């Protein structure tokens, strides 16, 4: 099993690009980004693209890659005005990521690099581990997956609709975007894991920054800003979900940090991918997982309708349903 996980890591990390990357050759610093940089005032140290913050000094170097957290260890503190309920909400949101990637969230004692969580009237985060203290501002304390989205940025994720191949999947209607908000829809050089992920928690809704909506937000709009192209139109009303981490949210984070050490095995009979028993590369048949499982080990059956070949289980294992329920009959 260890050997198989190692193979999986080698395979995925060999194709990893830096997250949300502004390359040093200038190809990622577009005219809109230049406009933002040109508009900064003397002494301004931070620039924000929608909910993503960057240090001006990092962008002015011409390149920035949103570095991963060292050893996947993410330290955090809470501002003194944060209630215990809010602190619990943040930790619960954060704990979605270690289920699928080798990241650990640890209260800071004296570490140099850490997230400092503040209450605010809007949500924002730096991208990646920038070094030193980095503020994360949260307003949506009652939305677990808006907080998980901000933490996704802090772990190095960019917006899905900014990935370089997005124009093959969606059309951005710049005429429907609020004036001055166009930079939120620009392409970034970023990680590309799997096919374009309409389901990503890092994707915007079709009405984000629409001229129909209040300044700086989305709403139910007539003039959409993101149109899903054929043949995927069914996703139009679904993009921008903040209810769960999508399959590729989970797998791209595992690609960045590695799969969790000692994680359970996963089975998915619909997978056409190579099978290593990990969440992202599950075994195809329960019998394969049982053959690899040690006594008492947990095997998760990934949700959906599957047909598994009939088997007799003659060892003690724990069967779990990954996302909701599994019926065995
Ligand atoms: Zn965001």
| 135: CATH | 3.40.390.10
Kindly tell me the burial class for residue 28, based on how many C-beta atoms sit within 10 Å of its own C-beta (0-12, 13-18, 19 or more): buried
Share of the chain above pLDDT 70, in %: 82
According to DSSP, residue 242 is labeled: -
- Residue 147 placed within a domain: yes
Q: What would the mean pLDDT of 257-279 be, rounded to a whole number?
A: 80
- Residue 192 placed within a domain: no
Question: How far is ligand 1, taken at its centre, from the CA of residue 218, in Å?
Answer: 13
Question: How far is ligand 1, taken at its centre, from the CA of residue 9, in Å?
Answer: 27
> How does strand 124-126 pair with strand 133-138?
antiparallel
- Residue 76 placed within a domain: yes
Q: Is the predicted pLDDT of residue 305 greater than 60, yes or no?
A: yes
Question: How far is ligand 1, taken at its centre, from the CA of residue 156, in Å?
Answer: 11
Q: What would the mean pLDDT of 39-47 be, rounded to a whole number?
A: 85
Active site residue 150: yes
Considering only residues 129 and 303, tell me which one the structure prediction assigns the higher pLDDT: 129
Q: What would the mean pLDDT of 203-209 be, rounded to a whole number?
A: 95
- Residue 249 placed within a domain: no
Query: Given the structure tokens 């050759």, which residue do they identify?
Result: 25
Q: Which of 148, 145, 146, 200 is nearest to 169 (CA)?
A: 200
Amino acid 24: pLDDT: 46
Q: Is the predicted pLDDT of residue 251 greater than 80, yes or no?
A: yes
Q: Which of 124, 181, 159 is nearest to 21 (CA)?
A: 159
Q: Is the predicted pLDDT of residue 249 greater than 70, yes or no?
A: yes
The answer to whether the CB of 259 falls within 8 A of the CB of 280 is yes
Question: How far is ligand 1, taken at its centre, from the CA of residue 205, in Å?
Answer: 11
Range with the poorest average pLDDT among 145-149, 166-170, 315-319: 315-319
Q: Of 124, 154, 184, which residue is a domain's last?
A: 154
Query: 25 and 149: one domain?
Result: yes
The answer to whether the CB of 126 falls within 8 A of the CB of 45 is no
Q: Quickly state the pLDDT bin for 318 (edges 50, 70, 90).
A: confident
- Residue 208 placed within a domain: no
Amino acid 98: pLDDT: 93
Q: Of 154, 189, 221, which residue is a domain's last?
A: 154
Q: Is the predicted pLDDT of residue 101 greater than 80, yes or no?
A: yes
Q: In sequence order, what are the beta bridge partners of 227?
A: 171
Domain count, the chain: 2
Separation CA 149–CA 161 (nearest Å) = 14
Q: How far is CA 223 from the centre of its chain?
A: 27
Report residues near ion ligand 1: CB below 5 Å.
51
- Residue 68 placed within a domain: yes
Q: Catalytic residue, from 150, 175, 297, 325: name it.
A: 150
Q: What would the mean pLDDT of 63-86 be, rounded to a whole number?
A: 92
Considering only residues 295 and 191, tell me which one the structure prediction assigns the higher pLDDT: 295
The answer to whether the CB of 255 falls within 8 A of the CB of 193 is yes
Q: Quickly state the pLDDT bin for 5 (edges 50, 70, 90).
A: very low
Query: 271 and 150: one domain?
Result: no
For the record, the structure tokens of 167 come out as: 């124009």
* 160-194: pLDDT as tens digits: 888 888 899 999 999 999 998 888 887 776 656 67
Task: Tell me the residue range of the domain where 86 lies.
Answer: 20-154
For 221-252, b where at least 16 C-beta lie within 10 A, e where not — what string? beebbbebeeeeeebbeebbbeeebbbbbbbb
Considering only residues 11 and 212, tell me which one the structure prediction assigns the higher pLDDT: 212
Q: Quickly state the pLDDT bin for 3 (edges 50, 70, 90).
A: very low
Q: Quickly state the pLDDT bin for 16 (edges 50, 70, 90).
A: very low
Considering only residues 118 and 320, tell me which one the structure prediction assigns the higher pLDDT: 118
Separation CA 128–CA 254 (nearest Å) = 15
- Residue 90 placed within a domain: yes
Helix, strand, coil shares, percent, the chain, to 5 = 25, 15, 55
Question: How far is ligand 1, taken at its centre, from the CA of residue 276, in Å?
Answer: 31
What is the length of the chain?
329
Query: 275 and 150: one domain?
Result: no
Amino acid 74: pLDDT: 98
Q: Of 154, 170, 204, which residue is a domain's last?
A: 154
DSSP symbols for 27-72: TTS-HHHHHHHHTPPTT--EEEETTEEEEHHHHHTT-B--PPPGGG
- Residue 185 placed within a domain: no
Separation CA 272–CA 276 (nearest Å) = 12
Average pLDDT, rounded, for the chain: 83
């Amino acid at each position: 099993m260890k050997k198989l996980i190692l193979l999986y890591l080698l395979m995925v990390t060999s194709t990893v690009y830096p997250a949300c990357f502004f390359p040093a050759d200038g190809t990622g610093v577009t005219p809109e980004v230049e406009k933002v940089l040109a508009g900064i005032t003397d002494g301004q140290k931070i620039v924000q693209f929608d909910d993503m913050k960057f240090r001006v000094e990092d962008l002015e170097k011409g390149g920035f890659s949103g570095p991963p957290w060292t050893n996947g260890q993410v330290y955090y503190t809470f501002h003194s005005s944060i209630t215990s309920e809010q602190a619990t909400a943040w930790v619960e949101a954060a704990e979605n990521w270690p289920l699928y990637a080798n990241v650990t969230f640890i209260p800071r004692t004296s570490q140099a690099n850490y997230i400092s969580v503040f209450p605010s009237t809007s949500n924002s985060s730096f991208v990646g581990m920038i070094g030193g203290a980095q503020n994360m501002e949260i307003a949506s304390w009652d939305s677990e997956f808006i907080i998980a989205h901000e933490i996704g940025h802090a772990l190095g994720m960019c917006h899905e609709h900014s990935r370089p191949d997005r124009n093959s999947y969606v059309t951005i209607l710049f005429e429907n975007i609020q004036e001055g908000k166009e930079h939120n829809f620009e392409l970034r050089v970023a990680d590309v894991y799997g096919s374009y992920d309409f389901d990503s928690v890092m994707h915007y809704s079709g009405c984000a920054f629409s001229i129909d909506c209040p300044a700086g937000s989305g709403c139910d709009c007539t003039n959409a800003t993101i149109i899903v192209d054929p043949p995927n139109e069914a996703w139009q009303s679904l993009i921008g979900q903040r209810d769960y981490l999508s399959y590729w949210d989970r797998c791209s984070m595992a690609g960045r940090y590695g799969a969790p050490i000692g994680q359970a095995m996963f089975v998915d009979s619909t997978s056409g991918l190579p099978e290593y028993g990990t969440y992202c590369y599950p075994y195809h048949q329960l019998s394969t997982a049982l053959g690899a499982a040690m006594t008492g080990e947990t095997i998760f059956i990934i949700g959906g309708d599957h047909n598994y070949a009939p088997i007799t289980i003659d060892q003690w294992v724990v069967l779990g349903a990954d996302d909701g329920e599994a019926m065995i009959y």
